[in-house]
Amino acid sequence: MVQKLNLQQAQKSIDTIRLLSADMVEQAQSGHPGTPMESAPIAYLLYNRHMRHNPKNPNWPGRDRFILSCGHASALLYSMLHLSGYGLSIEDLKNFRQIGSPTAGHPEFGHAPGIETTTGPLGQGISVGVGMAMGARFLQQKVSADLFDYNIYGLCSDGDMMEGVSSEAASLAGHLRLGNLTYLYLDNKITIEGDTDLTFTEEVGTRFLSYGWHVQHVEGENVQDIDRAISKAKSSPRPSLIIARSHIGFGAPNKQDTHDAHGAPLGADELKLTKQFFGRDPETSFAVPAEVSAHMGEAIARGAEQEAAWQVAFDNQLKSNPALGAWQTAAKGELPAGWDDLPAFPVGEKLATRQASGKTLNSLAGKLPFLLGGSADLGPSNNTTLKEEDSFTPETVGRNIHFGVREHGMGAVLNGLAHTPGLIPFGGTFMIFADYMRPPMRLAAMMGLGAIYVFTHDSIGLGEDGPTHQPIEQLANLRAVPNMTVIRPCDANETVEAWKAAIANRQGPTALILSRQGLPTLDRSVFGAAEELQKGGYVLAQEQGELKAIVIASGSEVPLALEAKTALEQDGIGVRVVSLPCWELFEKQDQSYRDQVLPTDCTVRVSVEAGSTFGWERYIGIAGQAVGMTGFGASGPADQLMKQFGFTVENVVAKVKGLL
């Protein structure tokens, strides 16, 4: 039972949040004081009256989630975590934005307890929240309606509303009627460059109404109105947007409602005047009145009581609900026994790796009940449809998600699903459209989220659609992202192994790079075992006689490398073919293994890959030759394009002989 709102107590707490935040920015001489100052009433109400959370166990699965989408206002979140008992000390607040401090310039997942996701790039937090809301609904339907009835709250700004990703995700949320999602929008009319009249005069509320959201308007300083609006939002069957007409830098006499309060400290003199406005000692910094500390600290006992009640319900259900036991195992990061016992593909069958991926994915779905995902309206092409499963719709929560033509939103939603304990999410599109997804993929890598990306149509081999759809630089771009595992299998059985690697990788995202065109399934009694993919690279075909040259390839160019080997050995040149589907896994092997695959004394090396040659000098050396793309593709039949751009036996043979 929520107690009656004590306005005097609330106001003193709100003002403390404001001044703590302003002090942090002033101490660091860096940051954004204005947004924390205007949003303090909202944060207070969420953490003290509406959110179900336990500061002493921030990862309690039954908690509500809070996302600070406007991550530049991180001082607000750190103030709340300190006052609510999450373990951030005053010293941590004083070290705001300093090296090694948990109070970073933007909230970073894993750096401090209570941070649900990394935010900063505007629009991403809003969109991650949609994935979190979908994850909660999935667990409600598939595991327990009572245990996973939590809500997701987000605080967002004008910048969040301007970024296109938020529109993609909000449109999907409205369509799915995610009633467990509430966003509070700070309508302060200010951006870094000045008034929003410069660029942003749309009716945001009308836009969200058109998406199917429940929309309310409140005054940002009216604590009672905000309190009532949040209560209404929680009871709505639709996602909710609460538009708060707020005042950036509230309480700063000379900087309130100006862009000067946005991205720089208030300044010593202005901060003293602000403290006087709130009736505080202007000479004292980082002050927390004892009554505020006691009041805000009540969240600890309240949260412990809420979690204890949840745990009793969990224990009672566990006895009779097998799905709950399966989820508990998955939430620990454990995979069920036999999950990787997958069928092999017969030798000689010509199959596109996207097709092999679809068959493998469906086999995995029968073993992994919390594997879910879909495509950006390309399911039939990406082969991402789970054939025995329902769709995720407003009425039915299935494992097939239809993201619509929303790649950017899909990437962020996958992050929200990956934040949901136990879930393994995947999303597919053509590889060229990985460009649309780069911001959320980068954040997934930064946070160590195990999202899986299914990128098909991976080269000029897709043919007639032409250079707008033919990925050239995308593979190199993906490989450049730290903690991103990028795998480009060469045949059906390497594709099976690629999926095994992706499922096992819960420490970061995995990108599967798959062909449109059919590729022969190799005879593994003659060539290296497909299981060797787990090492990233391996000797696919040993040289005959003395080793004179190494041809290194990935994906659809591996058969070409094997043909070139045959041609070269007819001339008495001993050639080794190395399949190198994953640079990241290969680099994790010890040096002795890597030297065994790529002996240092063999410097005649040629790489063959139908993408940018950028980065291949790592494996072929400065003296090596790269058969790849140095410009954009063209429209035409795939086999003709391959010849035009030099992916022929004759060209590979010439490159090797040129080095000899």
Amino acid at 267: G
The dihedrals phi and psi of 86, each to the nearest 5 degrees, come to -80, 0
- Measured distance CA(640)–CA(101) in Å, rounded: 57
The DSSP line for 6-25 is -HHHHHHHHHHHHHHHHHHH
Q: How many CB atoms lie within 10 A of CB 7?
A: 10
407 is a catalytic site residue: yes
- Measured distance CA(243)–CA(156) in Å, rounded: 10
- Measured distance CA(614)–CA(627) in Å, rounded: 11
- Measured distance CA(529)–CA(493) in Å, rounded: 9
> Under DSSP, is residue 554 helix (H, G, I), strand (E, B) or coil?
coil
CA angle 113, 117, 119 (to 5 degrees): 115
Helix 438-447 vs helix 407-418: crossing angle, to nearest 10: 20
The token pair at 651 is 């060209």
- Measured distance CA(579)–CA(553) in Å, rounded: 5
Kindly name the residue from 116, 163, 307, 407 that is annotated as catalytic: 407
Give CA separation, 25 vs 15, 72, 73, 92, 384, in Å: 16, 11, 10, 13, 47
- Measured distance CA(427)–CA(452) in Å, rounded: 6
Cβ-Cβ contacts under 8 Å for 47 (sequence gap 6 or more): 53, 66, 80, 84, 296, 299
> Under DSSP, is residue 327 helix (H, G, I), strand (E, B) or coil?
helix
Burial 558-586 (b: 16+ CB within 10 A, else e): bbbbbebbeebbeeebbbbbbbbbbbbbb
- 252 in Cβ contact with 275 (< 8 Å): no
Give CA separation, 249 vs 21, 39, 120, 244, 620, in Å: 11, 9, 19, 15, 56
- 437 in Cβ contact with 411 (< 8 Å): yes
> Across-strand partners of 520?
350
Q: How many CB atoms lie within 10 A of CB 100?
A: 7
Of the candidates 247, 175, 157, 246, the one whose C-alpha atom is nearest the C-alpha of residue 213 is 175
- Measured distance CA(367)–CA(609) in Å, rounded: 34
CA angle 31, 32, 38 (to 5 degrees): 155
- Measured distance CA(423)–CA(368) in Å, rounded: 9
26 CB burial (10 A radius; 0-12, 13-18, 19+): buried
DSSP state of 507: S
- 124 in Cβ contact with 439 (< 8 Å): yes
Catalytic residues: 407
